[in-house]
Amino acid sequence: MLRIEDLGKDHDRKHFDCGEPALNTFLQTLARQQQEKGISKTFVLVDTAQPKTILGFFSLTACEVVAEDLPPALAKKFPARAPGAKLARLAVDRSRQRLGYGQILMIEAMKKALLVADNIGIIGFFVDSKGHVARVYYEQFGFISFRERPLEMFLPLATLRQVIEAAS
């Protein structure tokens, strides 16, 4: 059975390989440090039959957004600077790619962002896509690109709620 849990000392970070060196390095060397310092929070997808093996992970952090960078119709709705939740990283081990694990991780990350919105207030969920393929992936969840920087993306709260309701 699949389960998402906080990254812990017992998880085997060393053998995780998503095919993207920067993401592997983050998980293997920085994720726990940043978690301990309160910089970001990392969650891992595991199978309860092998609970130490990381199938995928995502990291969340807080962010501040300059409203004028958002699409014009949205920019005018917010103050000059506004808080958000950010999907800092998301990756699936090579051996588990194309099995729907990325979607499982994304929906869980969105649920956690919605919890933040419901408890402290944010204007939406943000992500910096790592290229065109990633941008297209995020667009399927309703993310929209920033005006001047199309790889930086935003998911308004209303859309976030709709995606979560549809997934439930």
Residue 108's contacts (CB-CB under 8 Å, 6 or more residues apart) are 4, 43, 58
Count CB-CB contacts under 10 A for residue 103.
14
Chain mean position to CA 50: 24
Query: What tokens does 153 get?
Result: 């993306």
- Closest by Cα among 107, 101, 91, 94 to 141: 107
Please compute the mean of the pLDDT values over residues 137-151 and round it to a whole number: 92
Q: How confident is the model at residue 72 (pLDDT cuts 50, 70, 90)?
A: confident
Please check the confidence at residue 56 and state whether its pLDDT lies above 90.
Answer: yes
In tens, the pLDDT along 89-129 reads 999 999 999 999 999 999 999 999 999 999 999 999 999 99
Lowest mean pLDDT among 20-29, 71-80, 137-146: 71-80
Query: What tokens does 133 get?
Result: 């393929």
- Is 138 an active-site residue? yes
Give residue 142's pLDDT: 95
Q: Which domains does the chain have, with CATH numbers?
A: 2-167 (3.40.630.30)
Give residue 90's pLDDT: 97
Please check the confidence at residue 82 and state whether its pLDDT lies above 90.
Answer: yes
Please check the confidence at residue 74 and state whether its pLDDT lies above 90.
Answer: no
Query: What tokens does 155 get?
Result: 């998911």
Please check the confidence at residue 148 and state whether its pLDDT lies above 90.
Answer: no
Give residue 85's pLDDT: 98
3-state secondary structure labels for all residues of 103-133: HHHHHHHHHHHHHHHHHCCCCEEEEECCCHH
pTM for this one?
0.94
Cα 35 to Cα 6, 111, 149, 152, distances in angstroms: 10, 19, 28, 23
Please check the confidence at residue 71 and state whether its pLDDT lies above 90.
Answer: no
Query: Catalytic: which of 16, 58, 137, 138?
Result: 138
Give residue 87's pLDDT: 98
